[in-house]
Structure 1
Amino acid sequence: MPFAVDRRDIEDTVVVAVRGELDIGTAPDLRVALMEAIERQPDGRIIADLEGLEFIDSAGLGILIGGRKRAQAGGGDLVLVSTGRNVAKILELTGLMRVFDVYSSVSDAREAARPD
């Protein structure tokens, strides 16, 4: 599957969906998409939808961590959607499951952001 990054706005949330393999060659594309999303919603919630991701390496993880730090610096946040075994295993092994809020769907991530 070729690598692709798509961004869509759902009300006050920006969703950045990633498909294919996220590695040192494709990570810069994700970085650009995340920075654009954060600029668009500097104090909002950005959702990185990793459901279409088949593989992620340390470069990809670094982009996600950097994106989260940048979002939080502006008063926002970056959360993940991931249920795929390969990606979940990497997030677990690296301890990032404890760092990021990880949801099973975009709708679950959006719902969690709503005030009670």
Structure 2
Amino acid sequence: MSMKVETRSYGSVAILDLHGKLVFGGGDVQFRQAVLEVLEDGHKNIVINMADVRTIDSSGLGELIRSKVTAASHGANVKLLHLVPKIYDLLEVTRLIGVFEIFDDEAEVIPSFWDETRNDDAPEDG
């Protein structure tokens, strides 16, 4: 199964829902393109929802790091959502766990960006 990326927006937050394998030749390019597209659209806050990613290889790990670096060069931030235990453990073993903020609840990750910007990007109630 190749990687499928669906993009959703909530205010200034882009949520990339990944489906499939984040591996060399099977998702890395699609993922990279999706990150670039949301940055080009002006999003400064990116959530990578990995609930439906069961396999990741060194190329996929590299793309996660690249997404963080590319986002930072655009003044944006990347956070991870819904890591399955196997991928969480891999990030721990590779010592990449501290590179990303990781969340288990979409309702928590979205406002975490607003806390960083003193609610400047929070949607108005109304």
Percent sequence identity is 24
Between the aligned partners of 1:114 and 1:80, the Cα distance in structure 2 is 16
- Asked if the contact 2:7/2:15 (under 8 Å) is kept, the reply is yes
Match of 1:37 in 2: 38
Spell out structure 1 runs of 4+ moving beyond 4 A.
none
Q: Which has the larger radius of gyration?
A: 2
What TM-score, normalized to structure 2? 0.83
Question: Could you say what the CA RMSD is over the residues aligned between the two structures, in angstroms?
Answer: 1.5
**Which structure 1 segments of 5+ residues have no match?**
none
Judging changes above 3 Å, is the alpha-carbon distance between structure 1 residues 11 and 91 closer, same or farther for their aligned structure 2 residues?
same
- Asked if the contact 1:18/1:51 (under 8 Å) is kept, the reply is yes
Q: Which deviates further from its counterpart, 33-42 or 15-24?
A: 33-42
Match of 1:22 in 2: 22
User: Could you say what secondary structure the match of 1:47 adopts?
Assistant: strand
Between the aligned partners of 2:16 and 2:42, the Cα distance in structure 1 is 12
Amino acid at match of 2:6: D
User: Could you say what secondary structure the match of 1:24 adopts?
Assistant: coil
The number of aligned residues is 115
Match of 1:112 in 2: 112
- Asked if the contact 2:71/2:78 (under 8 Å) is kept, the reply is yes
Alpha-carbon distance, 1:67 to partner: 1.0
**Which structure 2 segments of 5+ residues have no match?**
119-126
- The within-5 A match list for 1:77-116 is 77-115=77-115
What TM-score, normalized to structure 1? 0.90
Alpha-carbon distance, 1:87 to partner: 1.1
